[in-house]
Amino acid sequence: MFVQWNGYEGSSKAFNDNEVEQEIQIVHSDQGFSIQQTFSHLQIDKPLSLIFPVDAQKMRCETTEGKCSMNGLSAVITPKDHTFTVSYTLNSPPVKSSMLLTNWFVKVKETEIKETAIYLTDKKLRTGNWYSGLKNTGGQKKDWINYYEFQGNGGADALYWQSDPLVKVDVGETLALYMSPEVKASKQLVDSLKSIDMPELKTIIVTSQQQTYSSDHFYILNNSQQLMEFTDTMRLTAMKNEYRFNESEEWLAEVMVALELNRAFGSEKSQKMYQYLQQELTPEEQAAYKADVSQMKGELMTAEQLDQILSEVKGLETHFFQENNEEKSVIKPLLFTDTRSVLVNGKVTPVEAINKKGVLLFPFQLTLHQLGFDVKTLSNNRSLLVKKDADTYRFDLDEHRFILNEEDYGLYENALVTYNGELYIESTWLQKIFLVYVNEQKGQITIDPIDL
């Protein structure tokens, strides 16, 4: 719904040194709209291509200001001074409870418009109000006419009139929000809108009198749910602007927004990643992570950097964002690896322990191999046969139990867990079942058999 409208204003940067401004005078009467559009700060004798609205009538150029070649809805002007004026008329749509004008102004093909001023005199519609994507800078309602002024950076945008009153809600300097009185927006939603850093003014109308509409600076929504969706979209856009993500990893901004809002946000994968962060980080760690990430605003942000910051906050190593940096790939859980070396029988091993909220887990098969056990996966792939000397263990992974030399023993549900296709065993159960001693030291973890 919020796909940006693409107009001619932003389509070409041929004259980057141009600072073209425009002033648009509109008179609305029973005969329709009479419009005069004046461009200023033009380059003398430099041709400029114009496109008139598709329904424009009585199109003309002020030939005293230069040359003008008309061809259908197109015109090429060559100003002999720094200003040029064109004029045209538009029929007025049937008056109902609202009116939306979109393709109503002349567009310039070769350059951008720096500033726009719109002066609208309405002799026909005496009730209601007009709204624009530009800032409302003035207006008066008199006995025979209503007068409106809109000014701001950039080109012209949609114009909207509604007979029923709209209430203006204060959401900051760069956002104009007008809502029907019956539409209710929570304080949390309003505060969320206020907190978004909008680089340019945007106008939002929330009403049931008109179908939804969106352009660069003007939006019509129908209810508070759509306003919430708009707010989320704007917040995501702001997040992408604040951090320079690689294009392939830009979607990770959804996870950053979720952390900022303290709620799930974005795609199913983004929401799940946020849930993992919530589960594995304490409130203090979450606050520290967000604070450290915020220090990266304006700099290139990558999955690797997000992992580095997360590892520093947690004091453990993770590759969570790097393992999940492809938007469409299957999600992998958040795991923190203990960076201490693991020694078995006094020898350094390739075993890497993971830390789940202070509990050490060791890779089942690799650890047992280092301890001298033989481990085989049975044909059903849900049972393991472990042997060493005269002892035989059989683990049934679905029923949380194991058999040692024909004796049946139960296991806690989380004694054996699988992450990323690899089976892990909790340190406590590794010691109880296989009669070993796990000793955590400052720079290493040792695993040694218990002498009976």
pLDDT per position as a tens digit, 323-353 = 999 999 999 999 999 999 999 999 999 999 9
- Hey, do 1-162 and 341-449 end up sharing a CATH topology, with the first three levels equal? no
Q: How many angstroms separate the most distant Cα atoms in the chain?
A: 109
> What is the token pair recorded at 437?
């001693």
* pLDDT band of 384, cuts 50, 70, 90: very high
Give backbone dihedrals phi and psi of 358, rounded to 5 degrees, phi first: 90, -5
pLDDT per position as a tens digit, 347-377 = 999 999 999 989 999 999 999 999 999 999 9
Nearest 10 degrees: CA dihedral of 115, 121, 126, 128?
Answer: 0
444, HSE (Cβ side, Cα atoms, 13 Å): 13
- Residue 82 CB contacts under 8 Å (≥ 6 apart), including other chains: 40, 41, 42, 43, 44
C-alpha–C-alpha distance, residues 147 and 166, integer Å: 18
C-alpha–C-alpha distance, residues 430 and 28, integer Å: 83
The share of the chain scoring above pLDDT 90, in percent, equals 73
pLDDT per position as a tens digit, 113-134 = 999 999 999 999 989 999 999 9
Other Cβ atoms less than 10 A from the Cβ of 262: the count is 12
* pLDDT band of 18, cuts 50, 70, 90: low
Contact call for residues 393 and 407 (beta carbons, < 8 A): no
Q: Which CATH architecture describes the domain 1-162? A: Sandwich (2.60)
The mean per-residue pLDDT over the stretch 230-243 comes to 90
C-alpha–C-alpha distance, residues 20 and 8, integer Å: 14
Contact call for residues 317 and 263 (beta carbons, < 8 A): no
C-alpha–C-alpha distance, residues 303 and 140, integer Å: 54
Measuring CA to CA, which residue among 142, 93, 137, 99 is closest to residue 119?
137
Please give the model's pTM, rounded to 2 decimal places.
0.75
Q: Which CATH architecture describes the domain 341-449? A: 2-Layer Sandwich (3.30)
Residue spans per domain, the chain: 1-162, 164-230, 243-323, 341-449
* Start-to-end Cα distance in the chain: 71
C-alpha–C-alpha distance, residues 22 and 24, integer Å: 7
